[in-house]
Amino acid sequence: MFTTTNRNRKIRALVLATLMVTSLFAGTVALTGLAASQELPPLSEAPAGTIFSQVQRGGNADDTERIGLIKRGNSENFLYNPSTDRTTLNEGDVLVVRGGAQRFLVTADSARTYAGSAGFAGPGATVFQGEQDTSAVGFNTETLVGVENGGAEGETLDLNQAIPRNQDTGIYSDTGARDGNTLTIQEPRVSRFEVLNQNGERIDAGGSIEEDEFVIVRADTNFLAAERAEIKLVDPASGGAITDGLLSIDEAREQFGDRPVFDEIEDDAGNELSDRSLGKEGDPDGLDRSLFNPNIAPADTIVLVQDLGEVEKAGDYEYEVISEDDEPFGDLDVRETTELTIASSDDPVLSFAAENRSIVQGEFAEYEIDRSTAGDYHVVALSADDLRTRPSGDTDVGEVTDVFREFNDGGFLSGVLVNTGDGELVAVLEDGRVFSNGEDVTDEFPELANGTVPGGDIEDVFTLVEIDSDGLGINQIDTGRLDDSSIDLNLYDGFPNPAEAVADYETNDGDDDTDEVTFSVAEATEGLAITSPGAAYVAGDDIDVEGTADPALDAVSVYARDDGDWELIEELDRVSVDADGTWDETDVTLSQVSDVLRVPGTYRIGVIDFEDADVDGDGQADATLETSDFSTGTSVQRGLRVTDQALDGQMVTYNGQVAVEDATINVSGVAPGADEVVVIFVGDRGGIVVNTDSVDDEDVFDNEDTDLADANGTLEEGTTRGFIISPARDGVFGGENERSPDAFASYVRGLEARGLTQAQAVELIRQASVDDDGSDDLLVETEFEITDADTVIDNVYAEGADGNASGIQPIALGETMVIEGTTNLRPDDNTIVLEMIRGPSAESFDVGIAEDWGTDGTWSATVPVPSDAEAGTYALRADDGETITTVNVEIVEQREEETTDEPTEETEEPTTTATAEPTTEEPTPTPEPTPEPTTTDTESPGFGIAVALVALIAAALLAMRRR
């Protein structure tokens, strides 16, 4: 790219060269043509973004050529050519704006030749990463700067260089501000690239399309003002482009008929052949057609229409859209691809995994339609004689067509082919529409329009299957509704909408099928089974009683047996069998609905065909069956162990306490077979709080915030006794004096008003539950303290000082301080903040946080000691939001490591009796340094230490005296 300074010199050179060339041919220009052209505005007055699609040579309308040039920004007399061919403009030529509404004169200073994908861009233009042959005009500096909030703030753009492919996108200016001359950098891209079939359906990548169809390939690009974009079909095997069968929209209409998809494409990209690597109607090879198509802007949609019937062979191909110049994918390096398979145009086929094999009644058999067109609808039908139960009487179309399952996606619509009695067959859809002789005759058959038909007159049952964008149509058959015989499944031609497909099928009376498959359905042999409960059942538990059966059975009945006859289980007297061969009844408490299963023990449970359970023939399952009647019927039985309930629970405290400020406690546990448990707290002075917690389907109860307060306030401080009580198997509290859960909770709450002591209240609660005669209640007890919030600091030590990690220890500069303590607060709702509040450099210490601790209440945190802090005594505060505790911590320059002196014979004889000289007590300005290391003298190990200690004491006394 070139700066404005260079541009002025080049313009002068170009003008002189142009004048010299044009002077040689000036005599060939007709004076009348020049006069007419000179009345037009010059090219420099064309607005930014103007697209020129024609040039009239010498201003002569009879000598017109198609071109594709664009004015990018305020580029004065300079244009840009995004095509690959060169375009020359001569003085006196007239440029025609796309659409023909305006014309502009090529003057001497605007006459020049433009190479392909080259030209000029001025202020206000948008250019793209990777552009190489674009020159900048109209800017005041050679380097542009990204403007504030323009996407490239702080970045620079060198106008003397090609635009790098990694140049930051955004707005650049020659002043660095938006009020200067700006240039916008964008990434060249393809935002949408899709292949549509002749129905306008999108073909997924890797999908297939028939070879006798046409496709429309559509791409949204943003870079057409800078470089050609080309769509082409590529054979991956050879890498070559396939140009056979390219069509304009009009040509496609003429060949394939008018279709809605053509209107949609014309709205997007107009009626032009979009593969601009090909010339058409005398256009120069390589012309950028987007620039003379009124429907396309420099950033818009381009399309390609191709008749696949002209492609030499079926197989795997890919369509690609690329930017095109002298490199494989142009200067802009844009390429997007999508794969597809061009399939043989043979008739659609019905592939059925069950073809020529036997299926057990009750299976969902899946079939697939292949080699069809996405968006088409096919009728799939079978004979009504193949249904397990032949319809009779008034029959709902929706019910009889349930043999076809609503599967996969797309619209689901079914119907029947009905004989009206005079030999005429009509198709009746489940939505009430009626078709006869290819026409919608719903008004002529009001008796059928409500979706109810005479069952005996049904000939076929059919469904409509829509072909998906991958070229496949998938559906299922419920074989539980088919007879145990050989079944024919028929496929019919596809059409773009359901009405056409049904009309064609009905017109041919269901005889002209495209494909047919045959399979066999066998009677179910799996027999009966009880799958739930398993080998054991907890008395009182709500469970789903489930099993399997031959789909031929309408219903089953479930019985239980101890030593005598089989006894019917209430709620399980008639359980319907689904078409897939399963049966179930939800939320059954066996211990409540069966007298046999009421108490723990080992029993027999069995299931029998409902018809065999109705021995007396009254239409109801008999309440009792003799063992011989049960065994001779279609039945199965097995053992079942009924177990008693259990209870396990816990109350979570911290350091054995609950803080008054928290006033809640986590209560959780498991109670198999129970629906709910009662949670009771008895305070130190007899106060009582009662809660009820539900037990879920997994036998779990969990209340993280169980209140320790009621309308009378929080329980008093002191020792509190907590109880979790389950009513167990009988569902009531107590034995001889039983109470429902609600009545028991109310009774316990009433004890508080009697002014009982804690011991008295606890005794009465136990007497009303676990200690009552005949009670099966279950109880878990926990004791804890309710007290004020309490957080203390126990230990402060240097990290890594494992041998000296208890109590409050000195910490050296640069070390990490470990702080440990205990609390009775809950970690979920509280945080402990550790802070140095006083000391020589207290403000330089970070704040420590403890926010998680175990039930023992022990917490810990670390705070680094700044290496540049001042040694001294500091006050360390722990604040939990409720209480504050403070300890003093010594920060020293160097911490003495704990050592262990090994006694030797030499240490027993002091070789020197002199003490350290008290010279430090004398105020001398420059004390002599003490030689080092006196404490390591092997002749007198004890003496060196003593001298050092005395010297330290003396220094301290001197400092105090000076103060």
Which residue type is seen at 946? Answer: A
Residue 953 has pLDDT above 60, yes or no: no
Q: What are phi and psi of 348, to 5 degrees?
A: -55, 150
CA atoms within a 13 Å half-sphere pointing along the CA-CB vector of 217: 30
Note whether 323 and 329 are within 8 A (CB). yes
Strand partners, 519: 487
Poorest-confidence range of 563-567, 678-682, 807-811, 905-909?
Answer: 905-909
Query: Is residue 8 helix, strand or coil?
Result: helix
Burial of 511 (0-12, 13-18, 19+ CB in 10 A): exposed
Say yes or no to pLDDT of 631 above 90: no
User: Looking at residue 911, what is its pLDDT?
Assistant: 40
As a three-state string, the secondary structure of 424-487 is: CEEEEECCCCEEECCEECHHHCCCCCCCEEEHHHEEEEEEEEECCCCCCEEEEEEHHHECCCEE
**C-alpha span between 658 and 469 (Å, rounded):** 64
Angle (deg, nearest 10), helices 260-269 and 249-256: 180
Give the whole-number percent of the chain exceeding pLDDT 70. 82
Least confident among 243-257, 356-370, 388-402, 430-444: 356-370
Q: Which long-range contacts (CB under 8 A, 24 or more apart) does 734-742 make?
A: 734/768, 734/769, 734/772, 734/775, 734/777, 735/772, 735/773, 735/774, 735/775, 735/776, 736/772, 736/773, 736/774, 737/768, 737/772, 739/768, 741/676, 741/678, 741/692
What does the pLDDT read at residue 247?
84
**Segment 938-945 long-range contacts (CB within 8 Å, at least 24 positions apart):** 938/906, 939/906, 939/911, 940/910, 940/911, 940/912, 941/901, 941/906, 941/907, 942/907, 942/910, 943/910, 943/911, 943/912
> What pLDDT is attached to residue 922?
35
| CA-closest candidate to residue 51, choices 105, 106, 96 | 96
Question: Of 42, 24, 51, 47, nearest to 111 (Cα)?
Answer: 42
The upper half-sphere exposure of residue 710, i.e. CA atoms within 13 Å in the direction of its Cβ, equals 14
Collapse the DSSP code of 641 into the 3-class scheme (helix H, G, I; strand E, B; otherwise coil) and give the result.
Answer: strand
Q: What share of the chain is helix, strand, coil (3-state, %, to 5)?
A: 20, 40, 45
φ and ψ of 758, to 5 deg: -60, -45
Nearest to 348 by CA among 309, 315, 374: 374
> Two tokens at 511?
């005889």
Residue 71: the pLDDT is 95
Q: Does residue 584 have a pLDDT over 90?
A: yes
The span from the CA of 874 to the CA of 871, in Å, is 9
pLDDT band at 526 (very low <50, low <70, confident <90, very high): low
Spatial contact of 181 and 125, defined as CB atoms under 8 Å apart: no
Provide mean pLDDT across the span 657-679.
91
Answer yes or no: is pLDDT of 232 > 90: no
- Pairwise CA distance, residues 689 & 707, whole Å: 8
Contacts of 738 (CB under 8 A, 6+ apart): 730, 732
8 Å CB contact between 339 and 317: yes
Instruction: Give the CB-side neighbour count of residue 943, counting CA atoms within 13 A.
Output: 16
Average pLDDT over residues 706-715: 84
Give the SS3 label for residue 255. Answer: helix
| Averaged pLDDT for residues 674-702 | 92
Q: What is the mean pLDDT of residues 659-677?
A: 91
Whether the per-residue pLDDT at 153 is higher than 90: the answer is: yes
Please give the pLDDT value at position 665.
92
3-state SS assignment for residue 799: coil
Task: Identify the pLDDT of residue 933.
Answer: 38
Residue with tokens 């220094």, as numbered in its chain: 955
Specify the higher pLDDT residue, 512 or 395.
Answer: 395
Query: Of 958, 963, 948, 962, which is closest to residue 920 (Cα–Cα)?
Result: 958
At residue 889, does pLDDT exceed 90? yes
Q: What's the pLDDT band for 525 if we cut at 50, 70, 90?
A: very low
Q: Is the pLDDT of residue 185 over 90?
A: yes
Q: Can you tell me the mean pLDDT for 266-270?
A: 60
% of the chain residues with pLDDT over 90: 45
Q: How many Å apart are CA 110 and CA 112, to the nearest integer?
A: 6
Q: CA dist 819 to 122, 422, 887, Å?
A: 68, 99, 11
Rounded to an integer, the average pLDDT of 145-153 is 95
Least-confidence region, from 32-36, 77-81, 588-592, 860-864 = 32-36
Q: Measuring CA to CA, which residue among 697, 647, 650, 644 is closest to residue 671?
A: 647
Tell which residue, 645, 747, 762, has the closest CA to residue 695: 645
Minimum mean pLDDT range among 439-443, 859-863, 904-908: 904-908
pLDDT at 814 over 90: yes
Burial 575-609 (b: 16+ CB within 10 A, else e): bebebebebbbeebbbbbebebbbeeeebbbbbbb
Taking the C-alpha atoms of residue 943 and residue 291, their distance in angstroms, rounded to an integer, is: 102
Please check the confidence at residue 430 and state whether its pLDDT lies above 70. yes
pLDDT at 3 over 50: no
DSSP state of 385: G
What are the C-alpha distances in Å from 425 to residues 134, 216, 380?
A: 72, 40, 17
Cβ count within 10 A of residue 681: 26
Residue 432 near residue 451 (C-beta atoms within 8 A): yes
Q: What is the mean pLDDT of the chain?
A: 82
Measured CA distances, 812 to 347, 412, 801, 846 (Å)? 89, 79, 11, 16
Provide mean pLDDT across the span 514-541: 82
Question: Is residue 731's pLDDT more than 90?
Answer: no
Q: What is the pLDDT of residue 884?
A: 94
Cβ burial 518-556 (10 Å sphere, 16+ → b, else e):
ebebeebeeebebeebeeebbbbbebebbbbbbbebebb
pLDDT digits (tens, 9 = 90+) for 110-121: 999 999 889 999
The residues pairing with 724 across neighbouring beta strands, listed in sequence order, are: 679, 780
Q: What is the mean pLDDT of residues 192-198?
A: 88
Give 551 or 630, the one with higher predicted confidence: 630
All domains of the chain, ordered by start, with CATH? Answer: 4-186 (no CATH), 190-343 (2.60.40), 349-522 (no CATH), 529-642 (2.60.40.10), 648-771 (no CATH), 791-892 (2.60.40.1930), 911-962 (no CATH)
What integer pLDDT is reported at residue 364 of this predicted model? 77
User: Where residue 230 falls among pLDDT bands split at 50, 70, 90?
Assistant: confident
What are the Cα distances from residue 353, in Å, to 265, 409, 426? 40, 20, 31
Q: Which of 267-276, 429-438, 675-684, 851-860 comes out lowest in average pLDDT? A: 267-276
